[in-house]
Amino acid sequence: MSRVPLRRVFAELPPYVPGARAAVGAAAYKLSSNENPYPPLPSVVAAIVDGAADVNRYPDMHATELTTAVAGRLGVAPESVVAGTGSVAVLGHVLAAVCEAGDEVVMPWRSFEAYPIAVALAHARQVRVPVGPDGRLDLPGMAAAVTERTRVVLVCTPNNPTGPAVRDDELRDFLAAVPRDVVVVLDEAYVEFVRDPQAPDALALFAEHPNVVLLRTFSKAYGLAGLRVGYAVARPRLAAGIRAASTPFGVSHVAQLAALASLRAESELLTRVDAIVTERTRMLAGLRAQGWDVPDSQANFVWLPLGHRAAGFAERCAHAGVLVRPFAGDGVRVSVGEREATDIFLAVAEAHGPR
């Protein structure tokens, strides 16, 4: 019997594995998907309920009120903002807008596990540049990897899963070295958690470099992971190209209203972000006091470079009631959430020991 041929590239790529979900009723903390531990604010729930009355209609295709509000908040032209079904979908649309089959996309590795899949979907080829042992992106190495076939470079800052953000000076040198017809995507899914004073001002770089595209999301700091809203900021011509490559009606009406309500409640949400950053500091300090050599984190997670011990360590965490994310043979990523979860996690880390 003949079978439908599937694209080989997807059989060869590791799938995007969702973080383990806490079993219903179990006293487990889910620290495996870099989610926001806080429930939605009442004003956001009210917006979601309001939106429900209109779901027999298609949403505003380009989420105009939302993109205009985001643009106003960032100080960019409204036509520069393109929304989509989470920033992971928007990344796919950026690649679809600029890559021809066989073009190259330079990316750090290890980094966000969806990158190789998104590149394959765009029929492009991934060029991986290893992150350093300190979890930092090798920007000079990434600039050196650019060839005439390179259409896009992905700069994940802070880098998922290792944690550090790039520095402004090294990013400026990098942008000066990369040709202007290569799109540089600054994936800033965790930007609201960054406290490093040396981190770049991405909006200033966007203003200076027409090939810079910012990628941001409502999933993390704004706590709307389940509603799937992200966006790109690009120069109007490129933004129009990304819009043309987008899934029609990708952001639901309910999601648009919730994101708008979140923008209105921004100061309260950013206070929660401050609390998560405080908890991150406590987690990093606790690990280092136990002798762990962990990279800096500017995001809502911490990386333990455990090598072959990753899977066993994750299992121990699960037994203790915290679900973390192992990357086989490489390390474990732990999201920063509730205080009690940090306490349980630190107790496991201490019992397991850094070596």
Q: Does 29 bind ligand PMP (CB under 6 A)?
A: no
Q: Does 246 bind ligand PMP (CB under 6 A)?
A: no
- Yes or no: say if 31 and 341 are a contact pair by the CB < 8 Å rule: yes
Question: What's the closest the beta carbon of residue 313 comes to ligand PMP, in angstroms?
Answer: 21
Nearest Cα neighbor of 79 from 90, 89, 68 is 68
**CB atoms near residue 34 (< 10 Å):** 23
Question: What's the closest the beta carbon of residue 85 comes to ligand PMP, in angstroms?
Answer: 8
Pairing type for strands 29-30 and 322-323 reads parallel
What are 48's strand-pairing partners? none
Question: What's the closest the beta carbon of residue 230 comes to ligand PMP, in angstroms?
Answer: 4
- Which residue minimizes CB distance to ligand PMP? 86
Q: With contacts defined by CB under 6 A, name the span among 7-15, 37-45, 83-91, 120-128 that binds ligand PMP.
A: 83-91
Containing 301, the helix (H) or strand (E) segment is strand 301-304
The residue type of 347 is: A
Q: Does 323 bind ligand PMP (CB under 6 A)?
A: no
Question: What's the closest the beta carbon of residue 84 comes to ligand PMP, in angstroms?
Answer: 8
Q: Does 298 bind ligand PMP (CB under 6 A)?
A: no
* Among the listed residues 67, 219, 246, 297, the single contact to ligand PMP using CB under 6 A: 219
Indicate the burial class of 8 (C-beta count within 10 angstroms; 0-12, 13-18, 19 or more).
Answer: exposed
What are 109's strand-pairing partners? 130
* Among the listed residues 28, 30, 34, 259, the single contact to ligand PMP using CB under 6 A: 34
Nearest Cα neighbor of 311 from 324, 295, 297 is 324
Per-residue tokens: 225 = 């992971």
Read off φ and ψ for residue 231, nearest 5 degrees.
Answer: -155, 160
Q: With contacts defined by CB under 6 A, name the span among 6-14, 145-153, 217-225, 313-321 that binds ligand PMP.
A: 217-225
Read off φ and ψ for residue 183, nearest 5 degrees.
Answer: -75, 130
* Among the listed residues 156, 184, 186, 294, the single contact to ligand PMP using CB under 6 A: 156
Which one, 103 or 187, has the nearer CB to ligand PMP? 187
Q: Does 233 bind ligand PMP (CB under 6 A)?
A: no
Question: What's the closest the beta carbon of residue 247 comes to ligand PMP, in angstroms?
Answer: 13
Number of residues engaging ligand PMP in binding (CB under 6 A): 13
* Among the listed residues 171, 189, 287, 341, the single contact to ligand PMP using CB under 6 A: 189
Q: Does 162 bind ligand PMP (CB under 6 A)?
A: no
Residues making up the chain, counted from first to last? 355
Q: Does 153 bind ligand PMP (CB under 6 A)?
A: no
Q: Does 303 bind ligand PMP (CB under 6 A)?
A: no
Which one, 112 or 174, has the nearer CB to ligand PMP? 112
d(CA 325, CA 331): 9
Nearest Cα neighbor of 317 from 16, 15, 20 is 20
Question: What's the closest the beta carbon of residue 354 comes to ligand PMP, in angstroms?
Answer: 25
Q: What SS3 string covers 48-110?
A: HHHHHCCCCCCCCCCCHHHHHHHHHHHCCCHHHEEEECCHHHHHHHHHHHHCCCCCEEEEEEC
* Among the listed residues 230, 241, 250, 295, the single contact to ligand PMP using CB under 6 A: 230
Contact positions vs ligand PMP (CB under 6 A): 34, 86-88, 112, 156, 160, 187, 189, 217, 219, 225, 230
